Amino acid sequence: MNKIPAIANTFGASKQDFNFHPQNDTPISLNEYGKPLSYFGDQIWDLSCYAHIYTQQGIIDFHLDHSSKNKEILSYQIKITLFYIIFSRKRRDNNITLATIYNSFAMIRKIAYLCLDYNCEFTNIATHGLFLKALRSHLSELSWESKKKYISILNSINKAGMLYGINVVPLIRPLNSVL
């Protein structure tokens, strides 16, 4: 049995406008009494309220273990992207699952670590040649379905950047040549 089965049930009647840039005190998850478990500004989000009983993972940790000076910026950009994925109108209406959230986070995090290795961030990956070469190499080793999921995540990074004003350059055109 679900604790709280879906985002639509949790935030459906909320006065929160998810089309504007989230503030640090924007609630991300609520307990069964409607009290926030996690806020946007937290480095760890407790999403266990969206979990089914058989789901083990309910925590998203945004700490990046890397020596790059960009790790704080990328951690923030991961949060913005995940916020977009979770709270876009389509997702709230279609009841996104915790597994989908966690899988999206894992792919965004892989892209972020690649950014850290090549000293770039989400706002300039489309123009960073070495990053794109490494991404193409990574994608070439994946199945067609995994490639499509990565393209979807890159599209979400782009849309989140446009919606929340973090100046992300469109990503899809340079990456379609990978497929």
List, for residues 54-87, the tens digit of each pLDDT value.
556 789 999 999 998 889 999 999 999 999 998 8
Q: Give the per-residue pLDDT at 66.
A: 92
Share of the chain above pLDDT 90, in %: 44
- Give the C-alpha separation, 62 to 75, whole Å: 6
Question: Is 12 a residue whose pLDDT tops 70?
Answer: no
DSSP secondary structure letter of residue 18: T
Q: Which residues of 121-150 are buried (b: 16+ CB within 10 A; e: fewer)?
A: bbbebbebeebbeebeebbeeeeeeebeeb
Q: How many domains does the chain have?
A: 1
In a domain, 89, yes or no: yes
Question: Is 49 a residue whose pLDDT tops 90?
Answer: no
DSSP secondary structure letter of residue 13: T
Q: Give the per-residue pLDDT at 119.
A: 92
In a domain, 2, yes or no: no
In a domain, 150, yes or no: yes
In a domain, 41, yes or no: yes
Q: Give the per-residue pLDDT at 51.
A: 73
In a domain, 84, yes or no: yes
Using CA atoms, how far residue 83 sits from 30, 131, 137, in Å, is: 15, 24, 28
In a domain, 1, yes or no: no
- Give the C-alpha separation, 172 to 153, whole Å: 10
DSSP symbols for 68-136:
-TTHHHHHHHHHHHHHHHHHSHHHHHHT--HHHHHHHHHHHHHHHHHHHHTT--GGGGGG-HHHHHHHH
Please tell me which residue, 73 or 33, carries the higher pLDDT value: 73
Question: Is 19 a residue whose pLDDT tops 60?
Answer: yes
In a domain, 57, yes or no: yes
List, for residues 96-112, the tens digit of each pLDDT value.
778 888 999 999 999 99
In a domain, 36, yes or no: yes
pTM for the model: 0.81
Domain span holding position 21: 7-178
